Amino acid sequence: MVREVSESCVDSLMTEMVACYCNRFYANKPELAARRIEAIGYQVGQQLSERYTMERPRFGDHLEAIKFICKDFWSEVFKKQIDNLKTNHRGTFVLQDNKFPWLARMSVDPSADNVSSVEDYSAPTAESKAAQAMSMHLYFPCGIIRGALSNLGIPCAVSADISSLPACSFVVRIKA
């Protein structure tokens, strides 16, 4: 029996989790909220990597493991593959997703834009607020990648960049 998960439920759960941690549990401490969300992602990543690597041979090197994350792991979780993978061959990998599903339904609040255009001094805050809200949603997938890789025996640090909205890239730095 193949068990499936409703995509919209996961989307809503994700939004609600981020909102809950940012606005309720750690309302004035975004760093703590970020760390908690990342930790949840870490555990999810560990468990998913255990499941998705079940019927495959062990990985020979780091690149193989990263390729697994880009292809099989990403298609199991998001039903698509990573669009672009770059590496400097010295332990840094950039995984670019041109249409990251968890950002696909996100937009900058237009009312906030209007307000900011009227009152000049609040312009940077509206934009930076939007950027901060978006980056909060990326701590969870960062944690998933870090959890999956460290469970495969590759300790690393993962950060995320938002270039233009539904696209985003994850930077994986492998600890020597």
Partner 1 sequence: MIVCVAVVGHQNNPLYIQSFTEADDALKLHHIVHCSLDVVDERVNNPKKSGPMLNETFLGMLYPIENYKVYGYLTNTKVKFILVTTDLDVKDADVRNFFRRFHSAYVDAVSNPFHVPGKKITSRTFAERVSTIVKSFGFSSAA
Tell me the chain's radius of gyration from C-alpha atoms. 17
Residue list 146-165, contact with partner 1 (CB under 8 A): 151-153
Q: How far apart are CA 141 and CA 158, in angstroms?
A: 9
Residue 175 touching partner 1 (CB under 8 A):
no
Q: How far apart are CA 141 and CA 168, in angstroms?
A: 11
Residue whose CB is less far from partner 1, 146 or 162? 146
Sole window of 7-15, 27-35, 41-49, 79-87 interacting with partner 1 (rule: CB under 8 A): 41-49
SS3 for 162?
strand
From 3, 24, 51, 90, residue interacting with partner 1 (rule: CB under 8 A) = 51
The minimum distance between CB 47 and partner 1, in angstroms, equals: 5
Integer angstrom CA distances of residue 46 from 53, 80, 99, 106: 11, 20, 24, 27
- State the helix-helix crossing angle for 123-151 and 7-20, rounded to 10 degrees: 120
From 3, 4, 60, 120, residue interacting with partner 1 (rule: CB under 8 A) = 60
Residue 110 touching partner 1 (CB under 8 A):
no
Q: How far apart are CA 41 and CA 145, in angstroms?
A: 8
Residue whose CB is less far from partner 1, 45 or 162? 45
Residue whose CB is less far from partner 1, 53 or 169? 53
- Contact residues toward partner 1 (CB under 8 A) are 43, 46-47, 49-51, 53-60, 151-153
